Chain A
Amino acid sequence: MLAKGVKRKHGEMEDGQLAAPAAAPAPAAPSDSLFNISVLKLHQSLRHVEPNLRYLVLVANTLRRLQDHAPAETQGPVPPGRPPAGPEPPAGPGAASPDRRDARCPAPEDELLLSGWDASLCASLSGGLEGAETPGGTPGPPAPPQDDAPPDVPRPPHPFFAPLELLGSTGSLLEDSLEGIFEDIDTSMYDCDVWSPASLAGFKAFSGADEEGQDGGRLDMDDLDYLMDVLVGTHAL
């Protein structure tokens, strides 16, 4: 059903040919690339004072889907020696509850969602969970430190839209609310320094400079220079 052991590269999508048989409808970009793109889109959208709400909601929901499946693939069951992170219950014989297993390893129908991922890895994960009520048998790769709550713990409402709360009143993106955006996102894999709240404090004034290689950014700066010249030249304030 899925191409076993073959991680399709992003560029291969452009061919329009399905490397995998027709059962996998979504051409596989690796999910972290999709994740990156989605995070970028979300941030770009949130930069607007009044973001396009439909766009924002759809991107955020897609991000949630990606996030829900990412931990299941990259993190196996917690080894016993590791202290649990955050609210995660301690690993133990009872820890491999059905909920956890379902959350950790996607159900068969979810395998289609992971069309870009290694199906064999998935299979081995589920096998590991099956066989190991004891968490000792960890077939998957070592789990990276998990900062977020595990999927089976009810997640707090996602703070993607914390800034939107203010839309009705002042409508401006106050700096202290920006931190809410990043609470749930595991940024350990990405270099997200540019998005850290501290650097975003001066964000509004320099947002044009963040866009690399985009003509839109350069044009905006040209517009600004021209306009400021006009303002200074024609009208003393």
Chain B
Amino acid sequence: MFLKFSLRSVFYGAGGGNDIQWCFSQVKGAVDDDVAEGAVLSGKLPEILLVSVPPSLPPPFLPLWVLIQMKIHKRISALRKMKCFPCQFSNTIKSAQLNTSALMSVSFFDQADIISTVEFNHSGELLATGDKGGRVVIFQQEQENKTQSHSRGEYNVYSTFQSHEPEFDYLKSLEIEEKINKIRWLPQKNAAQFLLSTNDKTIKLWKISERDKRPEGYNLKEEDGRYRDPTTVTTLRVPVFRPMDLMVEASPRRIFANAHTYHINSISINSDYETYLSADDLRINLWHLEITDRSFNIVDIKPANMEELTEVITAAEFHPNSCNTFVYSSSKGTIRLCDMRASALCDRHSKLFEEPEDPSNRSFFSEIISSISDVKFSHSGRYMMTRDYLSVKIWDLNMENRPVETYQVHEYLRSKLCSLYENDCIFDKFECCWNGSDSIVMTGSYNNFFRMFDRNTKRDITLEASRENNKPRTVLKPRKVCASGKRKKDEISVDSLDFNKKILHTAWHPKENIIAVATTNNLYIFQDKMN
């Protein structure tokens, strides 16, 4: 599925506003030009096929309408796996029908390859990606090459497995999407690696283990596995382990299902390494990693009357050090910090973080752009970062009434909110991440741009993830968007931005200056220039 480019050394080039000079390292994904998501194509089961469901079913047998749905579903799954939309046919079509034709490009490609999550493990040696097709691909960093000490090891495919399959809820006549929403690594305790991956409804604990030896010399079995006739055995021998080609196996160890009515948006592993939380739109559940048939509900914001629903949970995370503390963010731009020691049901927050609205910026879209799409604690645990549509905010956990730092990601979009509302881009959920020392934060934007903000120097930089501009070993050139007026050379005007090319998922190596940036269906790895 992924092809890799092999890139080695880097050379000096023009730097950006930061002290770090970022260099192109690798890109993984389709060989074709980075294609944008087809606005007209949907990977979802067409719902006109779903027959309306009577609420009561006689238990023992399946009625005809269920059988029909099962057949349709199986056939559609098979079709989709056949990739009926040819991905080698990468055509970029400017859609004339769309009002926002200047803003978006349309093309055909395999939707299953859309990357939906990116996460380094705790050592940074492994990098996991999840995609819309329910697959997880893990890359492993090569051991540092002594002869080429000026570059770090590159990331190669280590393991690929199908984490989640599309499921069909026959009772509700709906398909449960297999898209991986989040991956979280467990800290390594033994030779094997463990990660949690989740789709909309089910969380799975995967064990990834290596096998590089196999037993040979059985008495009762041939080497190919056939059983020998015991009467032909004349001598006995002790089977021994012999080396074999490295095989990486992934096996599901736990499946945590049936605990979420709504769509899971976050999972977070507690610092006790025994429990974790999963959050959907209205509830947060606490699990024990060993126990799959029970979970505790710790937050429930579902109103008694769903007609009164005005707010949903958008993200949740455990504090990195305090095992009793977690936060969750909402669609109204608030963050609540809860202490599990206070009560079993943490509906009442211990702290409420909210910045008052700037009256000069009020509009019909104020609430939508204040909706928080991601929340991340700093490694130190002293700060947390939130991402809303236009900005990144750093909060001190000791101060609730306003953030200590605010960084504008793409303020030039403020005048475009109406168009972005029409084409639904205003609902995009961007993630954000910290570097290992909590001095720099990074987040994505449109046109395959991503932004970094240095908290100490207060400088920021915009870079682009693109194959065109990046020859191997190139230092990335800073980009600039021109909001209005005269466009300088090398600047890009707001109207030329491609809103189909969005970087929603980014990850930063926990120890080094290596970043992974996911465009729609490509994964870019950049690292700093090493002398």
Contact = CB atoms under 8 A, between A and B. Distances in A.
B325 to A, nearest CB: 24
B310 A57 contact: yes
A153 interface: no
A149 interface: no
B364 A26 contact: yes
A26 B417 contact: yes
Given A27-B415, A53-B312, A208-B46, A16 B40 contact: no
Contacts of A223: 46, 49, 76
Nearest to B68: A237
A214 B40 contact: yes
Given A112-B360, A204-B48, A29 B418 contact: yes
Given A164-B306, A208-B46, A216-B41, A58 B364 contact: no
Contacts, number: 178
Contact of A49 (B50, B75, B422): B50
B308 interface: yes
A161 B495 CA distance: 36
B273 interface: no
Contacts of B371: 54, 58
B307 A157 contact: yes
A62 B53 contact: no
Interface in A141-191: 157-162, 164-165, 167-172, 180
Most buried by A among B67, B261, B262: B262
B427 A169 contact: no
B333 to A, nearest CB: 11
Contacts of A192: none
A215 B263 CA distance: 27
A219 interface: yes
A56 to B, nearest CB: 8
A94 to B, nearest CB: 31
B290 to A, nearest CB: 28
Interface in B470-507: 484, 494-495
B231 interface: no
A230 B52 contact: no
A162 B67 CA distance: 30
B307 A165 contact: yes
Contacts of B75: 227, 230-231
B227 interface: no
A17 B485 CA distance: 9
B48 to A, nearest CB: 4
Interface residues of B, number: 66
Interface string B364-387: 110110010000000000000000
A205 B65 CA distance: 14
A158 B307 contact: yes
Interface in B16-66: 40-42, 46-53, 55, 64
B138 interface: no
A112 B363 contact: yes
Contacts of A208: 46, 48
Interface in A181-237: 204-208, 213-216, 219-221, 223-224, 227, 230-231, 235, 237
Contacts of A171: 53, 169, 171-174
Given A25-B415, A49-B173, A167-B261, A160 B47 contact: no
A103 interface: no
Interface in A24-66: 25-29, 31, 34, 37, 41, 47-50, 52-55, 57-58, 60-62, 65-66
Given A65-B364, A230-B75, A237-B67, A219 B40 contact: yes
Most buried by B among A58, A161, A219: A58
A220 B48 contact: yes
A101 B424 CA distance: 35
Contacts of B102: 14
Given A109-B362, A112-B363, A157-B305, A168 B42 contact: no
B107 to A, nearest CB: 12
A162 B55 contact: no
Contact of B307 (A112, A160, A214): A160
A13 interface: yes
A65 B332 CA distance: 14
A52 B308 CA distance: 16
Contacts of A159: 307
A55 to B, nearest CB: 6
Contacts of A60: 310
A170 B71 CA distance: 22
Contacts of B67: 237
Given A204-B50, A227-B72, A23 B360 contact: yes
Contacts of B305: 157, 165
B419 interface: yes
B309 interface: yes
B113 to A, nearest CB: 19
A208 to B, nearest CB: 4
Contact of B55 (A16, A18, A172, A235): A172
B40 A215 contact: yes
Contact of B310 (A13, A61, A216): A61
Interface in A1-24: 13-14, 16-18, 23
B368 A207 contact: no
A113 interface: yes
A170 B367 contact: no
A54 B314 contact: yes
Most buried by B among A214, A216, A221: A216
Nearest to A222: B46
Contact of A62 (B40, B71, B364, B484): B364
17 contacts: A27-B419, A29-B418, A34-B421, A48-B174, A52-B263, A57-B310, A62-B421, A109-B362, A157-B307, A159-B307, A170-B171, A171-B172, A172-B53, A205-B48, A215-B41, A220-B48, A227-B76
Given A49-B172, A54-B427, A224-B49, 17 more contacts: A13-B418, A25-B360, A26-B363, A41-B424, A49-B173, A53-B262, A53-B281, A53-B309, A57-B309, A113-B363, A158-B307, A162-B307, A164-B306, A172-B172, A219-B41, A220-B48, A230-B75
Q: Which 10 A-B residue pairs are closest in the complex by CB-CB distance?
A: A26-B363, A171-B172, A215-B40, A220-B46, A49-B174, A53-B281, A170-B55, A164-B306, A157-B307, A208-B48
